[in-house]
Structure 1
Amino acid sequence: MIEFSTISWIVLAGALATYLTRIGGHLVLSRFQSIHPRVEAALNAVPAAVLTTLVAPAAVYSGTAETLTILIAAAASLYIPTMGAFVVGWVAIVVLRMFIG
């Protein structure tokens, strides 16, 4: 039998924690007949808040190439669909890292 490594246990624990978090939120909200508009607004703001916590440190503490890429991708997202902005950001980081480092 194949022995599980530490990384395998960490992945399984992370998957279980993610599942329990998601199902827990669903179970709590399913007990209510309607959701208050403020709660719904707060829940709708969660994805943007999570994205901000991931992007902001990269913009502030990473190198020039990363900061410029975030600005380029943000500007692109104002004019093109999300997947297009993702591709623009991907190309920008590759090119900028080649020239800036």
Structure 2
Amino acid sequence: MTLDLSTLLAILAMAAATIFTRVGGLVLIRYVKIDERRRTAIEAIPPAVLMAVIAPTAFATGWAEALACAATAIVSRRLPMLASVVVGVATVALLRAAGL
């Protein structure tokens, strides 16, 4: 297997962009006063991103995926992100096994 120089540069540029955005967010948040309204908005981001990732699959496939998406959306309001994903995966697995 060979590695093209342009591919390597693209991978390094994407890694640098990822690191920059993560570290930049941590640095910039120090200068923002977090009141209750902003805290609520920030806490709403992970479930919103999760739904944005799984919703297209839920609507483009069958009932099992749609119901699992709904279950994930419901539990993501109370559970951490990883637990919400586990609930979604378990739900779709059980519904597929049941024949939906």
Same fold (TM over 0.5): yes
C-alpha separation in 2, matches of 1:59 and 1:17:
30
Aligned residue runs from structure 1 range 22-101, under 5 A: 22-30=22-30, 32=31, 35-37=33-35, 38-74=37-73, 77=75, 86-97=85-96, 99-100=99-100
- Specify which structure has the bigger relative contact order, considering alpha-carbon pairs within 8 angstroms and separated by 6 or more residues: 2
Q: Which runs of 5+ in 1 are unaligned?
A: none
The percent of aligned pairs where both chains have the same amino acid is 32
C-alpha separation in 2, matches of 1:55 and 1:87:
13
With the length of structure 1 as denominator, give the TM-score of the two structures. Answer: 0.58
Q: Which runs of 5+ in 2 are unaligned?
A: none
When the two chains are superposed, the root-mean-square deviation of aligned CA atoms in Å is 3.4
With the length of structure 2 as denominator, give the TM-score of the two structures. Answer: 0.58
* Count of residues in correspondence between the two structures: 94
